[in-house]
DNA sequence: TTGCGTGCAAAGGTTTTGCATGGCA
DNA sequence: TGCCATGCAAAACCTTTGCACGCAA
């Protein structure tokens, strides 16, 4: 089964790669592609994102507002994880080795192997926390 | 604004409390209530779960298959978190203090305050990991 | 009796799917 | 030319909402 490389494929990848610093939804991607003049159907966007996720090129994170996707550079793996603020809804990408000992503990004591691409921690960012006081 | 205590309210709470060891979906709860002879509409189940979550009596976790809910005993807070196996789909509830130092680090260095009720880590359980080798 | 909570059905939103068509190799 | 990928629209799904009615207080 050969697989073709289409211009829609390249467009979706380029678009999500351009937003490597933040999470975007499938609808946002489709809108942006349209505004650039690239005509890509929403179904194709979903199909591409699914393939990219399967190959490890993007994170997929589930939120109250639907799924969000973020480009994932290979070399950032392992030490990166995602924080979502329940106040303002923003998703913060943190690169920090502090998770490593936890992962090791979970493997050794609880026999569970974390997938950092998928893992998202919920909480409140400093701004929202302050505003609520 | 007075608030009434209805028999549907009690039934939903009792049902999710009976499953305190695992996560259940709104549809599962509704089915189970129906099979017990309690007639509770799905909309009411959602409304109750939303209220219970707001009051901190249940966790709500987002999955590929929709939202899942789990009863949350107050004294289990802080040290508990959820692991979801991407292989078999099971959600494991882990009670372990290992997360505390991580939470403290995130607060002090990244100014982010984790909500353990909402946080779920993704990965693979020992069984699925073994099966894939 | 008052008005909150419920049930039903409809609406809403996101994601998936079927099928004819287009375009890559 | 062969056949995979796309686009469109419909379907599927989960969740929320509007409104009249039932029931707790």
A50 & A24 share domain: yes
Kindly state whether residue B2 falls inside one of the protein's structural domains.
Answer: no
The reported pLDDT for the residue numbered A9 is 96
Could you tell me if B28 and B64 are in contact, meaning their C-beta atoms sit under 8 angstroms apart? no
pTM, two decimal places: 0.84
- Residue B96 sits in a domain whose CATH number is 3.30.1490.190
B81 burial (CB, 10 Å; 0-12 / 13-18 / 19+) is buried
Kindly state whether residue A88 falls inside one of the protein's structural domains.
Answer: yes
As a residue count, chain A comes to 133
The reply to whether B83 touches chain A by the CB within 8 Å rule is: yes
Report CA(B94)–C1'(D22) in Å, whole number. Answer: 42
- Say what percent of chain A tops pLDDT 90: 38
- Say what percent of chain A tops pLDDT 70: 91
pLDDT tens for each residue of A29-58 = 999 999 999 989 999 999 999 999 988 899
From A9-23, A68-82, B111-125, the region with the lowest mean pLDDT: A68-82
B85 & B105 share domain: yes
The reply to whether B41 touches chain A by the CB within 8 Å rule is: no
The reported pLDDT for the residue numbered B27 is 96
The reply to whether A133 touches chain B by the CB within 8 Å rule is: no
* Residue with tokens 């999500």, as numbered in its chain: A16
Domains: count for chain A? 2
B13 & B60 share domain: yes
Domain that holds residue B114: 80-132
> Residue A27: which nucleotide is closest by CA–C1'?
C14
Which of A19, A49, A71 corresponds to the end of one domain?
A71
From A14-28, B22-36, B92-106, the region with the lowest mean pLDDT: B92-106
Comparing CB atoms, the residue among A96, A99, A125 nearest residue B111 is A125
At residue B28, does pLDDT exceed 70?
yes
Tell me if B102 and A102 make a contact (CB, 8 A cut-off): yes
The set of residues, in sequence order, having a beta carbon less than 8 Å from that of B30 and lying 6+ positions away, is B40, B41, B42, B45
Kindly state whether residue B122 falls inside one of the protein's structural domains.
Answer: yes
Which of A35, A50, A71 corresponds to the end of one domain?
A71
DSSP B24: B
DSSP codes of every residue in A18-82: HTTTS-B-HHHHHHHHHHTT----HHHHHHHHHHHHHTTSEEEEEETTEEEEEE--GGGTTTEEE
The mean pLDDT value for A88-109 works out to 82
- Chain centroid offset of residue B10 CA: 18
B101 & B51 share domain: no
């Amino acid at each position: 089964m050969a697989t073709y490389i289409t211009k829609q494929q390249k467009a979706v990848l380029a678009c999500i790669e351009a937003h490597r610093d933040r999470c975007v939804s499938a609808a946002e991607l489709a809108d942006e592609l349209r505004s650039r003049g690239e005509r890509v159907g929403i179904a194709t966007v979903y199909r591409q994102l699914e393939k990219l996720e399967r190959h490890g090129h993007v994170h997929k994170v589930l939120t109250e507002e639907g799924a969000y996707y973020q480009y994932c550079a290979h070399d950032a793996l392992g030490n990166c994880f995602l924080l979502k603020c329940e106040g303002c809804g923003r998703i913060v990408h943190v690169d920090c080795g502090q998770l490593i000992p936890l992962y090791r503990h979970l493997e050794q004591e609880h026999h569970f192997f974390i997938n950092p691409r998928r893992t998202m921690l919920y909480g409140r960012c400093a701004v929202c926390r302050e505003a609520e006081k």
